[in-house]
Each structure stands twice: as C-alpha cells, then as structure tokens.
Chains A and B, each alone.
Chain A
Amino acid sequence: MAPDKNLLERWKSAEILLLGGSAGSFKILFQIVKLLAPDLNKTVIIVIHRKKNFFSEIEKLFAENSRMLMREIGDKDILNKNTIYIAPANYHTLIEKEGTFALDVSEPVWFSKPSIDVTFESAAEVYKERCIAILLSGANQDGAEGLLKLRNSGATTIAQHPEDAEMTEMPTAAINIGAAEYILHTDEIFTLLST
C-alpha cells in the first residue's frame, strides 16, 4: 500500500528519524538500517534495549550493512546528518538544545537503560515537528509516553502494527494512549523509509 500523502510529505521534510525497539525489533531495525539511503539528509537515532555486559555485535552488524555512516553515541557528540547513531548500552541518551548528545547513567526506566522514553522526550523538546519517530516491537511499555510527548509537540509518530510485531506490548501501549498518529504494517514502514 502506498503511504499516505501527508505522511510522505512529513517524512521528507523531517530532520530526525527516531527508531525505538526492544524484544523482537532487531530484524526490522536491521532491514531499516539496510534500506536507508546514504543521502537521506537526516539524522537517524536508534534506541534498542540490550544487556549491559552483553557485548552485542549489533553496532558491527548494523555498520556492515548500512550505506550510511554508523556511530555509537559518545557524550557531547554533535548530531550530524546522514549518520545513524545508536544509543550505548547502560546509558540514557538525551539531546541538548545545541544539537549535541548528553549521556546519563541514572536509574533505568521500565527496567531499561537505554530508555526509549528518555530519548524521545528529550528529542520532542528540542526538535518538535522536525522529528519522525517509529516505535517497534517490544515486551514492555517503554517508548509509549515518549511517543506521546513527541506527538503533542508536533512530531510525526508511528507505531508498528501490533499484528506484525513479534512482541506486541510496546506498540500497543503507545496506541492505547493515543501516542501513535499512524499505525503501519512493517512493509508500509519499509516503503515509507525507502521513498
């Protein structure tokens, strides 16, 4: 199905693409990272839940399969366009007004560090309607409140259709509180992001 015209417009004009995922989101994130064009002209930020001492190969796998530049976020790094940033394990990622990242080691949110809520909320304050955010599969409610804040601040918000999500709780939580402006099937997400 072709994406909604209004959504397409907003995707094209967005400066920041935020992607949040937990259990069951790796495969779809991997596909997204693979399909994003190197001249996307956006900053992409991925927040994915993972264990602290589990030296995951996620960054490496993503980097090897992406045509965009891929970086694990370091404190005070500047948000650049045409770059995919991945939130480091065991830190929360915040965004400063000046367009830099600020890390935080405070308590987990929804048992998660990085927390999707934290990054989404801080992006909402700084980038408002200039963001587009997608919340994917996950087994807890992290991200729902953050997505709502984004929506309330004018950002474009999308939840993965629970039918397609391996773990439905995360997108469902967002949908239930009215945080998702669009509910898209996985193939619709792919089509949108490759347009």
Chain B
Amino acid sequence: MTDTNVILTAAQITELIDLVKRMHGFDFSGYTKASLKRRITRIMQLKKLSFYDLKHALVNNQDFFQEFLEEITVNVTEMFRDPSFYKGLNSQVIPYLSTYQHSKIWVAGCSTGEEVYSMAILMREAGLSNKSFIYGTDINTEVLREARRGIYSLRNIKSYAENYQFTGLKGSISDHFTILYDAASIHNELKQNTLFSVHNLVSDGIFNEFQLISCRNVFIYFETELQEHILELFYKSLCPLGYLCLGSKETIRSDTFKKKFKVINPKENIYQKIGS
C-alpha cells in the first residue's frame, strides 16, 4: 500500500503543524498524531513530494493548501452510516423533536453532506420536514460545495440503500432522489431545509441554538483535550435537554462532561444535555 521510503519524524510533523498555523491559520496541534502522520505521508506519496517540497508548496501555493486540507481531513462518509444509529434516533429522539414548533439540527464535520441528507430524509419520513432545519458545517470549502450539489455516484447510492434497509425506516431511499445516468441527485425538497457553511470546530464559536447536534466520526481525529474544548462548544450550543450524537466508537471521556450529559443510547453514543 505505502511507499516505505516516506518516513516522517515527530519533529517534522510538529514543524508542519506550526507552518500551517502560521501561514494559513488552521491549527492541527490537537489532532491525533497517528492519523495526521498517515494522511501527510499519503499526500507526499500521491504527489511525489519530499518533505522539503511539501513545505515549499504549503508556503508558496495557496491552491495546494486547499488540496492539502482536503487530503488530511478525512472526507469518507456515507448516507445512513451505522444504520442502528438512525434506528435509535428515530425511536428515541424524533418523538422529542416533534414536540417543538421548529427544531434546529447541526451536523458538525459534515464533509460532502451525506449525513445531512440522511438526517433530512429521516425528518421527512417522520413528517417533520417543514418543522426542521439542518445545518451542515465543515472546515473545508471544497467538500461543502459538493454537499450543496447533493449529487452522488450511483455506485455509492447502492451501498447507501443497503444501509437504509438496516435502519428499519418504512419508506424507500429512492423516494428522495432522481437518477441521472450514473448519478443520483438529492431532491430539492430535501435541500430546502438545509444550509451548508464553513465552521472550524477548533477555532470558531457558537452560531445558533440546537435541539440536536450530530458529530460522528470526527472526534476520532482529535486528542482528548481538543475533544473537551469542542464538547464545551456543543454543550453551549444545545438547548436544555437537547441531544448530542457521537459516533458508535466515540464516547465522552471527560469527567466534567460526563456529568453534563445523560447517556440515552450507550451503543450509539446518543447523549442528552442535563443541567444548564
């Protein structure tokens, strides 16, 4: 898989983190080092860059930085990923959301938007389309552009349909998009209740109050300290008794925040804000 010639030292990783922070204002110091190193090694292999070339490109080429950002932040996502999560959401959280006149949902680290549209489909099938609004945010402008387009390859859709089958939802995933040759386009009706915008979990603050925040498979890229910083942001962004969803392998580890959230679904890591 990998070219064994690319070997990065811990000191070089730190050097790159500093460089990116100074030149581009993005702070990756709280990211887990093992995955960061793997991503940087990968971009060096793909682009056939030495460490020096990489630094040179990061300093002198703004377009390259966008590519770099896209490559080192993992943008692999699926619709209805972890179907049992959507099952849990449907039975435990949707009844709560339906009591609101209007509910706001934030999908943090939404990448190319698949999870935002999964959420939109879930709301639509629960009859809550007109009573809900979903914000998708990411640090990467390029992936957000794709998210707004809402067009996915048919090959991916097949695997999403398989996920959907396991969610226990009654409808059909194909009710929500139009097939165009080898691609599937998400219906406009679903897009109307969504807004995609840039937000950096590391450096940006609260921008609204939400009934539900979903941030799945994002915490795995952060060290515990940064996770805590972001938990604080989520806590403050949730309404009283609002829900927080983490990925199925991600749990709240901080004692401070364990007291501030009640575990609603231990398997899917769905939490509810308690206290105020």
A interacts with B: yes
A residues neighboring B (CB under 8 Å): 53, 73-76, 88, 90-91, 94-97, 102-107, 109-110, 115, 117-118, 121-122, 142, 145-146, 148-149, 152
A87 CA to B217 CA in the complex, in Å? 15
- Segment with Cβ contacts to A, from B14-22, B29-37, B60-68, B133-141: B29-37
Q: A140–B25 Cα gap in the complex (Å)? A: 42
Stretch at the interface among B149-157, B190-198, B229-237, B245-253: B245-253
Chain A minimum-CB-distance residue to B81: A90
Q: Report yes or no: B83 in contact with A149, Cβ–Cβ below 8 A.
A: no
A104 touches B249 (CB 8 A): no
State the CA gap A94–B38 with chains docked (Å).
Answer: 9
Whether A75 and B219, one on each chain, are in contact in the complex, defined by CB atoms closer than 8 angstroms, is: yes
User: CB within 8 Å of A: which of B162-205?
Assistant: 162-163, 166
Q: Which residues of B contact A (CB under 8 A)?
A: 1-2, 4, 10, 32-35, 38-39, 74, 76-77, 81, 83, 162-163, 166, 217, 219-221, 224, 247, 249-251, 253
User: How many angstroms from the CA of A106 to the CA of B19 in the assembled complex?
Assistant: 24
In the bound complex, how far is the Cα of B221 from the Cα of A134, in angstroms?
28
Known: A91-B249, A96-B33, A122-B38. A104 touches B220 (CB 8 A): yes
A76-B253, A102-B220, A148-B4 known; A95 and B76 CB under 8 Å? no
| Total contacts A-B at CB 8 Å | 70
Q: Complex formed: what's the CA distance from A96 to B34 in Å?
A: 6
Shortest CB distance B259–A (Å): 19
Complex CA–CA separation, A109 to B76 (angstroms): 13
Whole-angstrom distance between the alpha carbons of A117 and B1 in the complex?
A: 8
Instruction: Beyond the given A75-B250, A91-B220, please list 5 additional residue pairs across the A-B interface where CB-CB is below 8 A.
Output: A53-B166, A74-B251, A76-B224, A117-B2, A152-B4
Q: Which residues of B contact A90 (CB under 8 A)?
A: 81
Q: Give B32's nearest chain A residue, CB to CB.
A: A102
Interfacial chain B residues near A94, Cβ < 8 Å:
32, 34-35, 38
